[in-house]
Amino acid sequence: MMKDWYDFLVIGSGIAGLSYSLIVAEKGPVAIITKKQESESNTNYAQGGIASVMSPVDSFEDHLNDTLSAGAGLCHQDVAEKIIKSGPSAIDRLIEIGVNFTRMEADQFSLGREGGHSHKRVLHAADLTGREIERALLAACHAHPNITIFANRIAVDLISHRYQGEITCGGAFIFNPRNRRKHQIKSAITMIAAGGAGQLYRHTTNPRIATGDGIAMAYRAGAKVANLEFMQFHPTTLSLVGKKTFLISEAVRGEGGVLCHSDGTQFMEKYHAMKDLAPRDVVARAIDTELKRSGKDSVYLDLRKMPADKIKTRFPNIYIHCLEAGIDITGDLVPVVPAAHYICGGVMTDVCGRSNVKRLYVCGESACTGMHGANRLASNSLLEAVVTAEFAAGRSIEEFEASNPPPLPSIEFPHSGDGNLPRERVIMSYNRRELKRLMWDCVGIVRSKYRLEEAVDRIELIRQSVQRYYESHSLSYTGIELRNMASLAGLIIKAAMIRTESRGLHFIVDYPDTDDVNWKKETILERKENRL
């Protein structure tokens, strides 16, 4: 049964939220709120693995240099260095929790290599690494007496107020769409670990729940957000008409797969010295350029030089999924296109997940710690999530023990729509489709000033329509999500308009060069109006 007070409230059940919960639960009761089933998260969809220095031929310095190179000048070197150096100990803790990484021998991990990495350093569990990590963390959370997971609930807004001149978070408003009950959970410490925002785009590798809720809620509560223009598009997702998007892990290219056209002609050597193992922003733009040049619907991945047994052993899930779709990746070319994958920006935090809102922590893909800069290095996301969650847990416990939470004023649930109005779901469906198409066409892999200006006007019309529906109708899961999507889409467009240069994942044809003099810095957005 859901109570009115928990010492720690966690919104999201991916690697960041679960890792954090296991630590802070030693100090007090924890409530984890998750939108759908508890295992439905971006973590669960991560195929490639988690990057960490585990080989004697590798080094922290090399991993750091690879991260900084991919980040195109915007990584916070001190943050990246702290996270990278904490990698091996974080891996040890995951193993202690029960994560089974693939090994070549009992004392030797099977390490993969992905784009932008100078060494093999990606630990994996076959090609379902995220699912294995999620399984182990969920089992540990279920076994902990101080942790309660509330599935199929959605956070509507944060409970925020001013206390001694500072914006302070005191929990969140929760909605259960199954019984339509509204609930206020008050807490001493609130952690947002709600994942990414791939669903803002027409084509994405993300699950349907990845609608940017955490970032949008934090922004409404007064949190600063940064670098939202840097949306990473994964270069290779299976492209078949009528089929759901399916990620083809970058590790496939790390094991020898190459990009080519239908006639087998390879093209990545034209774009980067690392060819098929170039950073993701380079590969995605290269594919986009080749598609526009050829007029085709896809390029292809060629695995035919790899031994069939190796493919089936290293990538069993990808092999089976493609085979079910009529493609034998051991002998057929695999049609692929880029798709929205990971947002490198988010709520602005330090390496310990602290935002500018007191008692509000943010970790994982919802956060912008400075680790990823303008382009995330492959498989650094799970590393950042687990390490910063542990740092955040330590800081949260210190803050929790140092002082009592400030008194909360009486706050009404922030929604009073008319439950008697007929539900015009067609309007919501239309707005969602239009938003996703707008973001894909105008704020995608390659952008232009004209398309961004068009996007500003069109997203405002969508936002106004969504807000009217949200305020006038009874609360719904769809309405909450779409409100967040429209809000975050507007912020992404605004950030892309502000950055008048091309850097990392943000490429705009009107400003094709990188401008270190004026733009080697974050794009920071902060809500000006004060609703507190």
| Each residue's pLDDT expressed in tens, for the chain with a length of 532 residues | 889 999 999 999 999 999 999 999 999 999 999 998 755 565 655 566 899 999 999 999 999 999 999 999 999 999 999 999 999 999 999 999 999 999 988 778 999 888 889 999 999 988 788 889 999 999 999 999 999 999 999 999 999 998 888 999 999 999 998 888 999 999 999 999 999 999 999 989 998 999 999 999 999 999 999 999 999 999 999 988 777 788 898 889 988 999 999 999 999 999 999 999 988 889 999 999 999 889 888 999 999 999 999 999 989 989 999 999 999 999 999 999 999 999 999 999 999 999 999 999 999 999 999 999 999 998 999 999 999 999 999 999 999 999 888 888 878 888 776 666 667 778 889 999 999 999 999 999 999 999 999 999 999 999 999 999 998 888 999 999 999 999 999 999 999 999 999 999 999 999 999 999 999 999 999 987 544 3
Instruction: Return all residues near 425 (Cβ < 8 A) that are at least 6 apart.
Output: 478
Instruction: Quote the pLDDT of residue 419.
Output: 65
Q: How far apart are CA 268 and CA 271, in angstroms?
A: 5
Positions annotated as catalytic residues are 280
Give the domains, in start order, of the chain with CATH numbers: 5-229+344-402 (3.50.50.60), 237-338 (3.90.700.10), 425-518 (1.20.58.100)
CB 65 within 8 A of CB 116: no
CB 26 within 8 A of CB 206: no
Instruction: Quote the pLDDT of residue 532.
Output: 39
Q: What is the largest CA-CA distance in the chain?
A: 68
Q: How far apart are the first and last CA of the chain?
A: 30
Q: How far apart are CA 204 and CA 337, in angstroms?
A: 10
Instruction: Return all residues near 18 (Cβ < 8 A) that are at least 6 apart.
Output: 32, 134, 137, 138, 140, 141
CB burial class (10 A; 0-12, 13-18, 19+) of residue 478? middle
Structure tokens given for 81: 């260095």
Q: How far apart are CA 148 and CA 233, in angstroms?
A: 35
Cα 493 to its chain centre, rounded Å, is 18
Look up tokens 């687990």; give the residue.
386
Instruction: Quote the pLDDT of residue 418.
Output: 63
Look up tokens 């060069």; give the residue.
513
CB 12 within 8 A of CB 194: yes
